[in-house]
Structure 1
Amino acid sequence: MDPPANCVDKLKSFAKSSKDYFNSLVRRTNSRSRGNPIEILKRLQQETFSDLMKLRDRQDKVERMLSIYKTRTGSPFQEASTHVKGEVDVVGSLLFVENIDQEICDIMKKAGVRTGVNSKLIFETTVRKKDTLSAEFMAKHNSQGSHGDVFGSPLTLKKVTYLANVNDWFSAIAIPVGAQFKDVGIGSDPLQSRGLTDFSSFAPPLLDRYHGCAAGLMVRGRNVFASLAEFVSWLGMEPNFVSNSRCLSTFAQVTYQPVEGTKMTLLGLQQKPRLRAQNIRLDSLTIPISSLRFHGSSFSSAEPSSIARNSTDNATSGSLALMLETELDESARIGGWVELQKSNTRNLQWAVCLSDTPEDELGWGMSIGGSVQRPLTLLHFQFEAFLKFTLGKRFNFQPGLVYALNERRGVPALVFRSSWSL
């Protein structure tokens, strides 16, 4: 073999052996790296990240489909949940008198002792995440039930309320049925501050007065609350809603909290009169425009004699009340209120209350109150003291002593109150 051919063969064999050597070196390096735990963890992390990205893409597709479905429905109640609240209130009394007459009944009525069984159901629904729609059903089992039935009345719709919370400091409320003054005000917790009678509450009986329908505005600040509302009542309403013959009422409240736990509240009520021209009964929520005029107007069908008979109703009446309440600790409170009723004869009602009613322990409360008439004439005075036994968070029992008297005689009575809530 010639030397050039031998030289080329040697070069080829050297190149092949070099290539085999490098390939074997790379394979050994790869095998070592594959056996390294760090490399294994890196590969597992990459595979897991890939799986998570696939799951996220699927979740995004499902959320897009659900959002399209919610947009198509367009109902404000699509995510609403209804909460049901219930309460059964039983009040009984034992009078320490030998003979019962009308005067004793009037004294106990002025004392605010309302015996009987009251059942209440409240349905609340959240609308548009901030607003609240509620309906209240009530049944009264006492001698003043429907048509004088001593067994009580059926469960009927008593109140409908729509509260629109525009933002944290401004709200609007509309009550087409069963409006009360306390619906547009902020006061004490009615269940916690309730005693045996109307005078043992930390708020005047003015707030519990019923009207037909109302609309109001409420403004909240850091330590100030104010509300203004218009209430409308008419002849077609139930007799126990409003006892007087007024049609349009303006209610205002201003609450100021100077320090934590202390509140001062000023309440004002002005009632515009109407003329009682004929015995006309209108259906609920039927309000003639002529009835909303001021006292200078009259009905076109009114007779002069009827206008003369009702001339005493033309004077504008109302009430002015001042409340003060201070929290001594978590469960003990002291407070009082004064209410001046502006009518033909000025009537002043007042009460001072002290209570300590913890949730899971024995509680107690006491109050004194009454009413006087100008010139200083005692119309009513009463003293009340009670104990409160709480069993769990849904049942409580309140026995107490009430002594009420007018300018001539007094009536002592044992009053028992029991409440159970759902």
Structure 2
Amino acid sequence: MVSDKIEPITLAITSKLKALSKSTQDFTNNILDNLSLSKRRHPIQILKRLQREAFSDIMKLRDRQDKVERLLSFKSSKVSPFQEASTSVRGEVELLGMLLMIDRIHEDNQDAIRRTGIKTGINSRFTFQTTIQEDDSLTAEFVASDKGQLDALSSPLSLAKVLYATNINDRCALTAAPLGAKCNDVGLTGPLVGGPPILNQHIGSGINLTVKRSNVIVSLAQFVSFMGTQIDNSRATHCLSTFGQVACQLSGSTKLLLLGLHKIPKISSDISLGPIALPIGMFRYRKSDVDALDGSFGSTALVLESNLDASTRVGGWIEMNNSGARNLHWGVSISDLPEDDFGWGLRLGGSKNWDHYEVEAFSKIMFGDKFSVHPSLVYVIDGSTQFPALTVKSSWSF
């Protein structure tokens, strides 16, 4: 009887213990779940999760972009190199006038003015430059000159210059000039204030090779130009020109340049071949086919220039030539010509006998980004002739 009464009590206690244990376990699980959820909802954890997801998306987009670029490069490699070329166009219109402070014009005055190199009138220039395959560039220049009249703006444009430049490697460059090259087109000098006359000489059509080595740059060019036809129209005169230049960087801002130009005129009877076709006599059948003239001439110049700051430059040059009585010329200059602000300069030049020299003080006044005025006062002494002159040059670029 006693055992029958104890058994229900034991079952009740056991069931209550099981119920208590289950409720305790559920409570504990609930607390752990809440703690885990609160950790997942923490702002730092959320940012980390978003960062991982964003990085994964970025890597997927990068992979797709690489595939598209490879496809485009494969297609563009089969087209002309001019397909992706970008062309820049630059125009410039110049007006140069001169006020001579002399009582009358005579032959001596005319010779003195001609030797100064000042040419008045209106000139317009349009330059097209195309970049080809990153390392090559093609430049074409069209000009219109007034030729003494004020009608340059209405005169037709003519192709005056064509240049093709390519970089073979980091130390070697090649320049080809099919038309209208000057020495400063293939030379190593920047814009000089009254540089030696050798830089402005036209040397025609040819090729130039430039080699760079540490602080020394060497340039050598060979050109041919058409000088004209004789009176009887049976013989044409060409000129073979060899131009060389060596530039030495003495310091970070000082540069020394040695320039040389040698010209050999040649007469040919085969004028029907055109101005660029020139027989050189390698397989001549008659001695008179190509005759070299005795009038070969040349020039040698030495230039020293230094940049004091970004816009201030001082320089000097001396040039020796065998083409005339005044075979030695010299010049010195100092200038401060910023690109977008007021500028000034002073230039002095002459010949070895001090029978001809010039002093020029000039300035640059900017009106906006595209229009500038360059007034200058020049004093010229040429033998017994001397006179001052006021020149005003305006330039509009676009």
Short-chain TM bin: 0.7 to 0.9
Aligned equivalent of 1:127, options 132, 135, 140? 132
Who is 1:170 aligned against? 172
2:366 is the counterpart of 1:366: no
Q: 1:49 to 1:331 in 2, by over 3 A?
A: closer
User: Highest relative contact order (Cα 8 Å, sep 6+), 1 or 2?
Assistant: 1
2:376 is the counterpart of 1:400: yes
Q: 1:144 to 1:235 in 2, by over 3 A?
A: farther
For the residues of structure 2 that align with 1:58 and 1:125, how far apart are their CA atoms? 34
Contact 1:142-1:152 at 8 Å conserved across structures: no
SS at match of 1:275: strand
1:13 CA displacement? 9.4
1:283 CA displacement? 3.8
2:200 is the counterpart of 1:208: yes
Who is 1:161 aligned against? 163
Structure 2 counterparts to residues 19-168 of structure 1, below 5 A: 21-36=24-39, 41-42=44-45, 45-46=48-49, 48-74=51-77, 75-143=80-148, 153-168=155-170
For the residues of structure 2 that align with 1:13 and 1:72, how far apart are their CA atoms? 81
Give TM-score, length-normalised by structure 1. Answer: 0.76
1:64 CA displacement? 0.9
2:233 is the counterpart of 1:253: no
2:256 is the counterpart of 1:264: yes
1:337 CA displacement? 1.6
Who is 1:224 aligned against? 216
Who is 1:317 aligned against? 297
Larger radius of gyration: 2
* Letter in structure 2 aligned against 1:287: A
For the residues of structure 1 that align with 2:311 and 2:72, how far apart are their CA atoms? 49
2:389 is the counterpart of 1:389: no
For the residues of structure 2 that align with 1:41 and 1:340, how far apart are their CA atoms? 80
Contact 2:163-2:177 at 8 Å conserved across structures: yes
* Letter in structure 1 aligned against 2:315: G
Residues 174-195 of structure 1: CA deviation (Å, up to 9, x unaligned): 22222111122222325xx3xx
For the residues of structure 1 that align with 2:360 and 2:160, how far apart are their CA atoms? 30
Contact 2:302-2:319 at 8 Å conserved across structures: yes
For the residues of structure 2 that align with 1:348 and 1:298, how far apart are their CA atoms? 39
Give TM-score, length-normalised by structure 2. Answer: 0.80
Who is 2:233 aligned against? none
For the residues of structure 2 that align with 1:21 and 1:73, how far apart are their CA atoms? 73
For the residues of structure 2 that align with 1:263 and 1:67, how far apart are their CA atoms? 45
Contact 2:305-2:313 at 8 Å conserved across structures: yes
User: Structure 1 vs Structure 2: percent identity of aligned residues?
Assistant: 36
1:260 CA displacement? 3.3
Q: 1:418 to 1:249 in 2, by over 3 A?
A: same
Mark the runs of 5 or more structure 1 residues left unpaired by the alignment: 194-200, 238-243
Contact 1:235-1:281 at 8 Å conserved across structures: no
Q: 1:77 to 1:351 in 2, by over 3 A?
A: same
Aligned equivalent of 1:409, options 361, 381, 385? 385
Aligned residues: 386
Contact 1:269-1:320 at 8 Å conserved across structures: yes
1:298 CA displacement? 7.0
For the residues of structure 1 that align with 2:253 and 2:50, how far apart are their CA atoms? 60
Contact 2:92-2:396 at 8 Å conserved across structures: yes
Contact 2:40-2:46 at 8 Å conserved across structures: no
For the residues of structure 2 that align with 1:404 and 1:346, how far apart are their CA atoms? 16
User: Whose strand fraction is larger, Structure 1's or Structure 2's?
Assistant: 2
Contact 1:143-1:152 at 8 Å conserved across structures: no
Q: 1:53 to 1:19 in 2, by over 3 A?
A: same
* Letter in structure 1 aligned against 2:349: G
Residues 293-351 of structure 1: CA deviation (Å, up to 9, x unaligned): 48xx9784948xxx8xx77x235321111112233444443322221113476722222
For the residues of structure 2 that align with 1:144 and 1:256, how far apart are their CA atoms? 44
Mark the runs of 5 or more structure 2 residues left unpaired by the alignment: 230-235
For the residues of structure 1 that align with 2:285 and 2:359, how far apart are their CA atoms? 47
For the residues of structure 2 that align with 1:236 and 1:15, how far apart are their CA atoms? 123
SS at match of 2:226: coil
1:408 CA displacement? 4.5
Who is 1:241 aligned against? none
1:86 CA displacement? 2.5
Residues 361-394 of structure 1: CA deviation (Å, up to 9, x unaligned): 544333232345xxx694x433322233233443
Contact 1:107-1:411 at 8 Å conserved across structures: no
For the residues of structure 2 that align with 1:412 and 1:322, how far apart are their CA atoms? 29
CA RMSD of aligned residues (A): 3.8
For the residues of structure 1 that align with 2:139 and 2:266, how far apart are their CA atoms? 31
